[in-house]
Chains A and B, each alone.
Chain A
Amino acid sequence: MKARRVRLRPELAGAVLLAMIGTAWAQDFNITGLRTDSVTLYKDCKLEQGSSITKQQFQGPWPAKKDPTSSLYFNVMRDGVRYCVKAFSVWTDQAVKVDKDSECGAKVAGRPPKTGAVRGVGEGCQ
């Protein structure tokens, strides 16, 4: 049987890519307001690339979703650019639950092993 050749068509590949991005950015909820006087939007979720938006400047809602790497941030898509925003600082149109409480089963009381050292001592004394 003659093998059938599949040609990779650029327009098809672009459509698939866009579909994938769209799927990745399927929003979970909307950010409807700011809880603090101003919030910082971190472009591409880089903490050194922050820009502030005040309550007055906010024009929502912003489509958003949970950050897959941290429960402390929401991902926001604005003008095709992904931003991160601190989760506690914004109002959402629905209660956002953390997938898994990282603190579950934590031990707060207890006797830690005694040590003869203090944290940080010795650093910088090479």
Chain B
Amino acid sequence: MDRSSARVGPRTVSFARVWHPSPWMRLLTQCVVLAGFGVVLLSYHGLSLHLTPWSQAIVNAIVGHVYPPEGQQSTTVVLFREENLVQLNDPYPVPYARHVDVLEALAVYKPAAVFVDFAFIDDPRAGDDVAGLSRAICALSRSREAEKRTVRVFLAAPPPDTSDLGPRRADPKTGGVNPKLLECATPVNAQMDVERGASGVLTYGACRGTDCQRDDVMKSPAFAMHHATVTSGPRALSGRRDGDPMEIIWANGYSELNRSWMNCRKPGPSEDIKEMLRDNPLAVKRKCPYTDTISVMHLLGPYNDGVRKAIEDRAVFYGASFEMAGDRVVSPVYDDLPGVYLHAMAYDNLRSYGPQYKRAEQHPASRIANGILLLFTVFLLMVVDKPLAPAKRLFGEAAVARRATWMKGLAIGLAVVSVIVAMQSRTDYPALFLLPALVFGMATFLHVAATHPEAAPPPEQDTAPAQFLRKGLLAIGIGAVGLALFAAVDRVGGAENALLFVVLPGYVVYKAVVVRDWLFVVTSVLMVGAAVVCYLPPINLGPRNIVGYVAFFEAARHMIKWADGAGEKYLALRAKYRDSESWGVAAWAVPLADRFFTFLVRGDDKEMADEGTARPVAA
């Protein structure tokens, strides 16, 4: 208990003055509380889970337009479908003899490397010829000897043995794969990372273990295939960080090969809207995979030039799509796919980006980026609406900002130049050029927000009736136009493009024109800018939860408004009722409440000299 609240009288204690923290203390406390609120909301609470799909949907749409085609041109999935078992009159599991056929056929078409996504970890059944399969693997491996090339073959190994499954499963060299098959093949770790909510699998480990650059470590299929097919040049992985876990960018596009034989038909716009509203924006997914695919029936049929184009000099991922086998991967872009597509997509990322592949969320740089974004949002919250005097001084009236106008001009000029240089120079590290623009942009925006209160939406009570009607009509108009445009874009480019090109700009227009909240608009733009800078080399992080940060900004803004109102109400009541009896609480509770509510108050008009501890006066 505070000394100041010591009882003087027997029953009632009157507190003449309200305790006020110093403005700096208020600013710091509010910053810390908001940052903590942000961390909880964006990391642990369900908000992240609900908003990530929206961010992911926007990212998907952007990726559809910027993802390089290089990976698609060098990756192929050979799929053994459930229907193929019937067509080939094969039982399940697939007999070794059929795998031999597939490997022999692959050898005919001369692939660059092959990953077999079947785990040969059990003792073969009667009739399965292990030696025959081993010979087929070796024959495939040597199929390009005339060109002095080796076709590396990789076999899927199960996750590490955590229980006692016998000596073979525990052997780190074979990873549980039948050693007789490893004469000409290498085992790779086919473990899949966990799904993240509606977004599905977003990360991909480079190896089993931590030090993935070591030669003796068991790599993941995509990384192993990449090391086998790209040994030199700018896309080769040789750097210290080139074994970091990957944030998979699920390319959002079409494969002409797949469209030529798969059923890729999607439902219409009304179905898409219904699905998005009922579930989440990721509920509407593409029906055909991005990776070029042929089935084993295509492969085993007569020699075909289309099959040759799909296999020759490409990384081939041979996997299966069987019912009730559990090997499915959930992605943010496509309907559930056979698990082999996860490895193919990860390889596609490596071929497309090389060492600039996107690093997973658990990378330290990712946490730093998230921290900077959160800090910027918190600072912004401190200067908007009713800024505290120190915040105004810090961001609005700092000596440099106030006195040196030429410096502001220089900063803006540098920001513009850095953007132009990044766009024109085709540099390998565009983020380095864009970072100054982003930092200047954020600092300038903080300054503008602190010095121009008109950037915030006008108070509701100032709205005239005529304005109210006009705004209502505008809002309805924007909604109607948005809906029509959504249907049109959805039909042509899919739901994610409709979200990117219609819903997002529509909401920004609504905020700017109807609500007149320029702070929101600029905050959103800066957040998107920050996400882009984080994504580009050399930072190379995966997509940020942009919608999460903007939503946090909006939610926290409403929260601090509400808290400010509560604090002001308390102070008004406190000025009127000074004794503890009026408050119906024990004497010690009043100073405690003073300390709590005065921290909620915002605005420099409430900034008073620190009056010290509330002084009790005997009633």
Residue ranges of A at the interface with B (Cβ–Cβ < 8 Å): 35-37, 71-72, 74, 86-92, 95-98, 101-112, 115, 117-120
Contacts and interface: CB of A to CB of B under 8 A. Distances in A.
B334 A102 contact: no
B358 to A, nearest CB: 23
A36 B107 contact: yes
Interface residues of B, number: 45
Interface of B: 79, 81, 83, 87-88, 92-93, 101, 104-105, 107-108, 139, 258, 261-263, 285-289, 293, 295, 297-305, 321-326, 328, 334-338
Given A106-B262, A111-B335, 5 more contacts: A86-B104, A96-B303, A98-B301, A105-B262, A109-B285
Contacts of B299: 88
B87 A102 contact: yes
Contacts of B297: 71-72, 101-103
A106 B295 contact: yes
A123 to B, nearest CB: 10
A118 B336 CA distance: 18
A119 B321 contact: no
B336 A91 contact: no
Determine chain A's interface SS by DSSP, over half rule: loop
22 contacts: A35-B303, A71-B297, A72-B88, A88-B300, A89-B105, A92-B302, A92-B303, A98-B301, A102-B297, A103-B261, A106-B81, A107-B262, A107-B263, A108-B79, A108-B258, A108-B288, A109-B286, A109-B336, A111-B335, A118-B324, A119-B92, A119-B322
| B-side interface mostly | mixed
Contact of B287 (A74, A90, A103, A107): A107
Contacts of B107: 36
A56 B75 CA distance: 34
Which of A36, A71, A97, A103 is most buried by chain B, counting CB atoms within 10 A of its CB?
A103
A118 B326 contact: yes
A117 B87 CA distance: 24
B337 A88 contact: no
A36 B104 CA distance: 8
The 7 A-B residue pairs with the shortest CB-CB distance in the complex, in nearest-first order: A109-B335, A119-B324, A96-B302, A87-B302, A88-B105, A105-B263, A35-B108
A101 B261 contact: yes
Given A88-B105, A89-B108, A109 B302 contact: no
A111 B335 CA distance: 6
A94 B81 CA distance: 29
Given A36-B107, A88-B105, A106-B263, A112 B300 contact: no
Nearest to A109: B335
